Amino acid sequence: MARDKFLHILRFLHIADNSQRPHEGEEYDRLWKLRTVFDKLNEAYAIFYNPSEHLAVDEVIVKFQGRVNFRQYIPKKRKRFGIKIYKLCNESGYMYDMTVYLGRDSHSATDDMTATHATVRHLTSRVEGLGHKIFMDNFFSSPRLFDDLDRHKINSCRTVWPNRRDMSSDFGPKHLKLKRGDVRVRTRGGLTALVWKDR
């Protein structure tokens, strides 16, 4: 297809009916124009693919220069401007579920659950009770999330900041004066925390 023809089609391409725009209120969806596309994709991922045992939760920045109020600027990323998407992928890179970050989510955060905790629970809801192993970085991880995933028969492994809520107090920066080769391990039920200093 010629470039100009593609741009002409793209100019008039609409996924949602603008006359059906929801009123801006508490339940307003910033992604309402594309919500049906994202829902259909997530449904298709679940129908046509059975994920492998090892899965990963991570964030990705999709480069975007347009004007939307949920566009992110993250200076440490290679693509500094874009739309942040949280994904659940398998070890070969197949995306099994995704959700777009639309700004601070005050609805999903509670006293017992942070917004990132709620995001991980949402992404892993389709693999509950199947014995999958979830890997993630310290942006998402916390002991409460581990306990929550364990209750839903999802195993997980991740790095974690030592000052996260509910971490063992002797893992704090003041107590972590390790010598080379030292290892410190703490366990509670099915949760194991381990820290070491390389030789």
Residue 184 lies in a domain: yes
What end-to-end distance do the CA atoms of the chain give, in Å?
A: 58
Residues 134-154 have pLDDT tens digits of 999 888 888 888 888 888 899
Residue 98 lies in a domain: yes
Residue 40 lies in a domain: yes
Considering the domain architecture, whether residues 56 and 89 belong to the same structural domain is answered as yes
Considering the domain architecture, whether residues 59 and 156 belong to the same structural domain is answered as yes
Q: Tell me the average pLDDT across 18-43.
A: 83
pLDDT score recorded for residue 161:
83
Element counts in the chain: helices (H) and strands (E): 4, 8
pLDDT score recorded for residue 26:
64
Considering the domain architecture, whether residues 115 and 180 belong to the same structural domain is answered as no
> Which segments of the chain does DSSP mark as H helices, in order?
3-11, 35-48, 115-123, 143-151
Considering the domain architecture, whether residues 131 and 158 belong to the same structural domain is answered as yes
Mean pLDDT is lowest, of 53-67, 101-115, 151-165, 170-184, for: 101-115
Average pLDDT of every residue of the chain: 84
Place of tokens 């939760």: 57
Residues 75-123 have pLDDT tens digits of 877 778 888 999 999 888 888 899 988 877 655 556 677 888 888 998 9
Residue type at 118?
A
38, 58, 74, 182 from 93: Cα distances, Å: 18, 11, 23, 35
Position with higher pLDDT, 31 vs 4: 4
pLDDT score recorded for residue 28:
76
User: How many folded domains does the chain comprise?
Assistant: 2
Q: CA 141 to CA 135: how far, in whole Å?
A: 10
pLDDT for 55 beyond 90: yes
Considering the domain architecture, whether residues 116 and 34 belong to the same structural domain is answered as yes
Pairing of strands 191-196, 183-188: antiparallel
Judged by DSSP in three states, 82 sits in strand
CATH number of the domain that residue 123 is part of? 3.30.420
pLDDT score recorded for residue 5:
94
Considering the domain architecture, whether residues 159 and 77 belong to the same structural domain is answered as yes
pLDDT score recorded for residue 2:
95
- Please report which confidence band the pLDDT of residue 24 belongs to, taking 50, 70 and 90 as the band edges: confident
Considering the domain architecture, whether residues 148 and 187 belong to the same structural domain is answered as no
Considering the domain architecture, whether residues 151 and 196 belong to the same structural domain is answered as no
Place of tokens 């979830």: 134
Considering the domain architecture, whether residues 173 and 119 belong to the same structural domain is answered as no
pTM: 0.79
Residues of the chain with pLDDT > 70, as a percent, come to: 93
Residue type at 108?
S
Domain limits at 179? 168-199
Considering the domain architecture, whether residues 125 and 185 belong to the same structural domain is answered as no
Considering the domain architecture, whether residues 142 and 185 belong to the same structural domain is answered as no
pLDDT score recorded for residue 176:
72
Considering the domain architecture, whether residues 142 and 110 belong to the same structural domain is answered as yes
